[in-house]
């Protein structure tokens, strides 16, 4: 305890010295660097962990939406995978029963006991198909999450001010001796963001 107190006390005495050195260095720096928003970082973060790109874009309200969109296929996957394994086991047990082996019939889920072999096969195929679709929807939702983070990252520094003007002016083409109209679109460039 005494060693910890002396380390903390010793580090407090060093802080003013470090501050004096940094203040001398800060006087010599004349330009200020502005940190720009990089959409690629939002894309990468959102691809690694859903919602991380939205947090980087400072769109915190989208994070619950991202997880809500991903929770639906995850829950349906769990539901369908559970019923697929039960109906697969029941189908195999009924198939063995048809060939003379009754050892696994008692282990069939009570909801599936009264179904025929053809019904169990149909249920098994349906649950397997729905389980596979759940995986596809989960991947699609994750991809939409990455796409949203990318587009929002690109639009983060998009200039939407009112300094956009379109002028229609008469013009003359002397080489062809023709008169006409010209459209001039002016963008005001604000480089000091």
Q: Which of 88, 84, 87 lies closest to 133 in space, CA to CA? A: 84
Q: What is the mean pLDDT of residues 8-17?
A: 44
pTM tops 0.85: no
- Residue 10 has which token pair? 């010793």
pLDDT at 79: 97
pLDDT at 135: 97
pLDDT at 3: 56
- Give dist(CA 53, CA 39) in Å, integer: 9
pLDDT at 34: 65
Q: Which residue has the higher pLDDT, 73 or 109?
A: 73
Q: Which residue has the higher pLDDT, 139 or 13?
A: 139
**CA dist 79 → 7, 8, 93, 129 (Å):** 57, 55, 21, 12
pLDDT at 165: 72
Q: What is the mean pLDDT of residues 23-42?
A: 69
Q: Which of 70, 179, 75 lies closest to 130 in space, CA to CA? A: 75
pLDDT at 43: 95
Model confidence at 188, in pLDDT bands (50, 70, 90)? low
Which tens digits make up the pLDDT trace of 106-160?
A: 888 888 888 999 999 999 999 999 999 999 999 999 999 999 999 999 998 876 6
Q: What is the mean pLDDT of residues 80-92?
A: 95
pLDDT at 181: 84
Q: What is the mean pLDDT of residues 95-99?
A: 88
- Give dist(CA 69, CA 103) in Å, integer: 43
Q: For 66, which DSSP code?
A: H
Residue 14 has pLDDT above 80, yes or no: no
Give yes or no for a contact between 42 and 150, defined as CB atoms under 8 angstroms apart. yes
Give yes or no for a contact between 166 and 188, defined as CB atoms under 8 angstroms apart. no
């Amino acid at each position: 305890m005494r060693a910890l107190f002396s380390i903390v006390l010793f580090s407090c005495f060093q802080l003013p010295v470090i501050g004096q050195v940094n203040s001398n260095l800060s006087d010599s720096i004349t330009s200020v660097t502005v940190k720009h928003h990089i959409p690629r970082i939002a894309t990468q973060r959102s691809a690694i962990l859903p919602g991380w790109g939205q947090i980087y874009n400072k769109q915190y309200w989208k994070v619950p939406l991202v997880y809500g969109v991903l929770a639906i296929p995850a829950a349906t996957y769990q539901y369908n995978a559970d019923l697929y394994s039960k109906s697969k086991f029941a189908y195999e047990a009924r198939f063995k029963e048809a060939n003379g082996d009754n050892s696994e019939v008692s282990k069939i889920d009570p909801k599936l006991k009264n179904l025929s072999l053809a019904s169990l096969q149909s249920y098994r195929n349906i649950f397997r198909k729905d389980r596979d679709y759940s995986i596809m929807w989960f991947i699609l939702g994750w991809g939409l999450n990455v796409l949203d983070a990318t587009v929002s990252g690109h639009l983060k520094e998009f200039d939407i001010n009112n300094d956009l003007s379109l002028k229609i002016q008469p013009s003359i083409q002397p080489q062809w001796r023709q008169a006409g109209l010209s459209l001039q679109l002016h963008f005001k460039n604000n480089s000091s963001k």
